[in-house]
Amino acid sequence: MDDKFEHELSLKDLIRIFYRGRWVIISSFAAVMFLTTYYTFTVTPEYEASAKVIVQEESARGMDIFDIGGFIQQETMINNQVEILKSRTLAETVIHNLQKSELASQLEILRTGKYAEDPKSMIAGFKSTIKSVLGMTASEADYSFDDKVGDLMEHRLSITPLRNTDMIEIKVTAVTPDEAAFIANNLTVAYQEKNRSMSQEEVRQVKEFLEDQLGSIKTQLAESENALRDFMQNKKVVALSHETEELIKKLAEFEGFYHEALTSLNSFRERLAYINEQLGKNRQNFDIESISADTYFEELKKSMAILQSRRSAYMANLINRGVYNENDMELKKFDEQIAGLTEKLKTELAKLASQDIVNPVAMNEQLFKSKVEVEANIQALKPKVTSLKSIVDEYTGKLESLPQKSLQLARLQRAAKVDEKIYLMMKEKFQESRITEVGQLGDVRIIDPAKPPKNPVRPKKMLNMILGVIVGLGLGVGITFLLEAMDNSIRTSEDVERIGVTILGSIPVIKEQETYNKIKVQSKNMQNGTPDDVKRMASRLITHFAPKSPISEAYRTFRTNIQYAKIDRRLQTMLVTSPGPGEGKSTSAVNLAITMAQMGSRVVLIDADLRRPVVHSIFNTDRRIGLTNLLIGRAKLEETIVQTEINNLSIITCGTLPPNPSELLGSEPMDRLLVELKAKFDVVLFDTPPVIAVTDAAVWAAKWMALCRWLNPARPIKKPASV
């Protein structure tokens, strides 16, 4: 970076930089604001409709078996629901529903969407032409069903769980308010239906199992009744003894309880098979048998077996005495103890399972809860079935002791009664499962359906305009500072001082007309010229014609600074140059010579600019005999020196312009001339060509005691050229 930024920028520097780059800043600001305004007021507005749903599982409302070491929290359940809302399956369902709706032809998401290209663009037009040649319509080629699903998932849908609640906010964007609300409501309804369907799936599996069993037992009951009727007709047997009737009645009652427990056990096993299948699909299953070897869990199972055996024995005693009542207080106590033990089994199973799962966060919470609950009920029902089976076997053994004919009749009556009991029980269970299935409303409730928004969410006009102002100004200022950093030209006096060059003076701009109006013509030479020549001569000789003017005072200050610049020795030879032409170099050389002559010094001004000489025109004299004639030996020094009307000031014009100025001025005759001039004059000034245009001044610089570079701030120069 330029060393101009190595020092701390002052307010004055910043104002100067901003003023110099004002057009860059204005142009950048105007361009950015134009693009921002065009985009803001031409882009298609987008509206956002939002709906809110609450997710609350029924099982979580009554008991909390997942609060074990923070294994699975409510947040995990909400996150699972969020992923379901973002799933492609749900998006496909929504698109299908939208396509079937009465408003399908009016929905922009089904016609173009955000995947479609701008039909006005050149590329889109080219693609359209190619597709028309191939016989493809725009909708067939550009916007398929998958595109619509992707558009909904990636561009339009936003799912946000509300902090510290069980609620989820669903936002959908569209090009019209009504479409946004319509899609959002369709999505929430589809999500609710999907949740309800998932909740009903387990119950549906049990219902189908019971339906199959009900059909089988109905057929079996019909066969049992037919066999009993045929036997009684063929064998002419009317009835059994009272004792046998009582035995069969008790046996049928026990078998009814046994098959009821067995049916419940098989129903739970059917549910477990479905749950394992679902967990297996997601690779989230866990094996109960491998984790149930825990000592405490085994103790719970043994306690359950003992409790179920005692209950069955007590119930058998009631039946034998003929006082069985399902509301018996002791039976209720047994049932309460079994229910409490079942809850302990659930808790322990959840704890053991949580330790066995590799990634509990990824576990489907609903399936996890269902499996734990089903497994606990299975562990509770197994000993019940076993104990009841032992009682049935005991009474069956008693039945086997009857005579052959009575035994056959007893068996047939028993089979008919048991099948009837099982059929009635199955029918009741089937009806219960149907009611349960219908009652499964799912865990999702729609709290706030979406309504058409009043205002678009994009574009944000005020924000866009504010950002446009900030970006426009920032870009302009940034470019300005970048250009300033890359600019190594010299423009100000501070720039000159920072490169280690001494500033000898600062001369105001000379305005011809103003200067001429203040000067009274004092020279007859001036009166011989045209008005334009008079103005030009007066302005260039201002120290002579207007010695009291501010410009003349500036030249005198310049003269004094030069004299004191070399205080250790007398300054006799001086070379005046500038970076480029037209910067006032010759005018300053003339006025410097005049101010030195006014001090009484004998001064000679030599026009050494052999390419564009101007000294002769300033003094209105002939240049045909001058420096070049002197150097090539065709004139003597006395012939070339011209005495001006200004006291102590003489000039030597350039003479005939040579083809090789640099070689001529660097020659040995030039060195001899310099010695001779120093002997005749107190001060010798040379007006030389610009240093950037030619090398003359650089070649001579070593031969002079002082080198004055004349810089015009209006024409900045590059630093290498001025050093």
User: What kind and span of H or E run contains 489?
Assistant: strand 489-490
285: number of Cβ within 10 Å: 17
**Which residue, 573, 572, 606, is CA-closest to 590?**
606
Least confident of 20-24, 497-501, 616-620, 635-639: 497-501
Bridge partners (DSSP) listed for residue 607: 687
Count CB atoms within 10 A of the CB of residue 290. 9
Residue 366, pLDDT score: 65
Written as six digits, the tokens of 207 are 């219902």
Q: Which residue has the higher pLDDT, 360 or 212?
A: 212
Q: What is the pLDDT of residue 407?
A: 57
DSSP string covering 265-313: HHHHHHHHHHHHHHHHHTT----HHHHTT-HHHHHHHHHHHHHHHHHHH
Q: Which residues, listed in sequence order, are joined to residue 641 by a DSSP beta bridge?
A: 652
At 405, is the pLDDT very low, low, confident or very high (cuts 50, 70, 90)? very low
| pLDDT band at residue 86 under the 50/70/90 scheme | confident
User: What does the pLDDT read at residue 171?
Assistant: 92
Query: How many residues are recorded in the chain?
Result: 723
pLDDT at 122: 37
Residues 287 and 456 sit within 8 Å (Cβ to Cβ):
no
- The per-residue pLDDT for 400 is 64
Beta sheet of 167-174, edge-to-edge order = 157-161, 167-174, 47-55, 444-448
Percent helix / strand / coil, the chain, rounded to 5: 65, 10, 30
- H/E element, 53: strand 47-55
CATH numeric code, 489-722 = 3.40.50.300
Bigger pLDDT: 398 vs 38: 38
Give 478's pLDDT tier (boundaries 50, 70, 90): very high
Instruction: Please report how many Cα atoms fall inside a 13 Å half-sphere around the Cα of residue 13, on the Cβ side.
Output: 13
Six-digit token string for 309: 């055996």
Among residues 182, 186, 180, the alpha carbon closest in space to that of 92 is found at: 186
Identify whether the C-beta of residue 446 lies closer than 8 Å to the C-beta of residue 168: no
Is the model more confident about 142 or about 549?
Answer: 549
Residue 275 — left, alpha, or beta (φ > 0 → left; ψ -120 to 50 → alpha)? alpha
Of the listed ranges 82-86, 292-296, 453-457, 477-481, the least confidently predicted one is 292-296
pLDDT of 513 over the 50 cut: yes
Query: Closest Cα to residue 155, out of 188, 190, 108?
Result: 108
Please say if the pLDDT value at position 65 is more than 80: no
Task: Give the tens place of pLDDT for each residue, 161-180.
Answer: 888 888 899 999 888 899 89
For the beta carbon of residue 360, count every other beta carbon within 10 angstroms: 19
Contacts of 617 (CB under 8 A, 6+ apart): none
Q: How many CB atoms are closer than 10 A to CB 361?
A: 12
pLDDT score of 25 more than 90: yes
CA distance 505 to 507: 7
> Quick check: helix, strand or coil at residue 124?
helix
SS3 state of residue 446: strand
The DSSP result for 271-284, as a single string, is HHHHHHHHHHHTT-
Distances (CA, A) of 624 to 329, 613, 665, 708: 146, 12, 17, 27
Give the integer Cα–Cα distance in Å for 365 and 83: 13
The residue ranges of every structural domain in the chain are 1-34+463-486, 35-161+168-195, 489-722
Q: Which residues pair with 458 in a beta bridge?
A: 46
Average pLDDT, the chain: 74
The three-point CA angle 457-463-464 to 5° equals 95
pLDDT surpassing 50 at residue 126: no
CA dihedral 425, 431, 437, 441 (to 10 degrees): -120
Q: What is the pLDDT of residue 695?
A: 61
pLDDT for the residue numbered 399: 63
CA 476 to chain centroid, in Å, comes to 25
Closest to 300 measured CA to CA, from 243, 351, 224, 366: 351
Over the stretch 130-155, which tens digit does the pLDDT of each residue have? 444 445 444 444 557 777 777 777 87
pTM: 0.50
Q: State the average pLDDT over residues 565-580.
A: 75
Tell me the residue type at 353: A
**By C-alpha distance, which of 46, 120, 103, 53 is closest to 81?**
53
pLDDT band at residue 723, thresholds of 50, 70 and 90? very low
State residue 68's pLDDT score. 36
Structure tokens at 243: 């004792």
> Look-up: residue for tokens 């969020």?
82
Tokens 């025109």 sit on residue: 617
Distance of alpha carbon 494 from the chain centroid: 46
Confidence of residue 73 (pLDDT cuts 50, 70, 90): very low
| Pairing mode of beta strands 603-607, 683-687 | parallel
Q: Which residue matches tokens 């001036």?
A: 526
| C-alpha closest to that of 406 among 205, 247, 188 | 247
